[in-house]
Amino acid sequence: MTFVTPNASKIVILGDSGVGKTSLALRFTHNEFHDLELSTVGAKCFTKSVHVADKDVHFSIWDTAGQERFQSLAPIYYRNSRAAIIVYDITQKKSFHEAERWVDEMKRHGDEDLVIALIGNKSDLNEYREVKMKVAQEYALKNNLIFLETSAKTGEHVEDLFMKIAEMLPSVHAKIPENLDHNFGIVSISKLEEKEKRKEKKNCC
C-alpha cells in the first residue's frame, strides 16, 4: 500500500507487449532489472522523486498492457497524465511502427502540454538491432519528442530519461484552493443551485 504523493506528476508508459515497459520503470524506481519481489502490490504503479533545478519532482508512473486487444482501453490510463513514455524494442521493427501509432494517438488525444518521449529499449542487444538509431532520431526530431535509447538491463540512460522529462514538465503545479468556508460546504450547495438555475434559464432561452 502506497500513500498519495502530493503534486505527483502522472507518467504513462505505452508500447507493444514485451518491449520492456515494466523493466524500464523498475530500473528507474528500484534500480533493479528483474525484481523477484514483484508479488508485492505496487508493481504496476511506481513512484519516485527526482531533484531538478532546485525542485523535487514527484512521479507516479503507470504501466499499461501493450497487447493489441487492449489498445482501446489506453485512453482511460493516459487521461490526466503529464508525460507519456512510448517504448519500442530496437530489435523489433514491428514495435517501432507500434510506437509511431502511439505517438500519433498521444498527439491527437493527449493534453496540449503533454511531454512525449520516444524510447528505444534493449540497447544492450545492439547486434540484433532492427531499428536504426538515425531513423528513430529523425522521427523524434520531426515530431518534437524526447528521444533516447535505453537499456533497462544495464540501466543505460534510464535515469537520464526521467531527468529530461522532469526538466520538460511545466514547473507550475495546479494548486488546491485553500479558501475553506466555515460552514463545511453548506454554501457550496446554494452555489450549485445557482448554477443549475442559470443553466435552466439558458435552456429556456
Partner 1 sequence: MKKKSTKNQSTNQSKNEKKDQPNQKLDLLLENQPKINKNFQIGTYLTCTLKLSELKDYPKKLIYLDIKCIRIIFAEKTEFITKFQKTTLQFLENYISFLQKKPIRNFATKTHPIRMFIDKLRTKIIKKHPFLIKYFQFTEKIDHIDCQEVLNYLVERCLERVVITPIHNPLITSFHLESIKEDYILDEKMKKLYKKPPQFFGVANKFLKINWESPIEILSQFRICKFPFEFLDILINTADRIYFTSKRQLETLSQLNLEENISKDDFSITADGFLPIFLYTLVQTKLSNLQTIQNFLLDLSDPRELSSEIGYYLTTYCSSLKFIRSYK
Nearer of residues 141 and 188 to partner 1, judged by Cβ: 188
Q: What dihedral angle (degrees, nearest 10) is formed by the CA atoms of 68, 119, 80, 31?
A: 110
Whose CA is closest to 95, among 72, 128, 143, 62? 128
For position 66 contacting partner 1 by CB under 8 A, the verdict is yes
Residues 6+ apart with CB under 8 A from 161: 24, 28, 85, 117, 119, 146, 148, 150
For position 175 contacting partner 1 by CB under 8 A, the verdict is no
CA angle 29, 1, 13 (to 5 degrees): 40
Nearer of residues 134 and 204 to partner 1, judged by Cβ: 204
For position 201 contacting partner 1 by CB under 8 A, the verdict is no
For position 17 contacting partner 1 by CB under 8 A, the verdict is yes
Nearer of residues 133 and 173 to partner 1, judged by Cβ: 173
Q: Longest Cα pair distance anywhere in the chain, in angstroms?
A: 70
Enumerate binding residues for partner 1 (CB under 8 A). Answer: 1-6, 8, 10, 17-18, 21-22, 34-36, 38-45, 47, 60, 62-67, 69-70, 72-73, 76-77, 80, 178, 180-181, 183-186, 188-189, 192-193, 195-196, 199
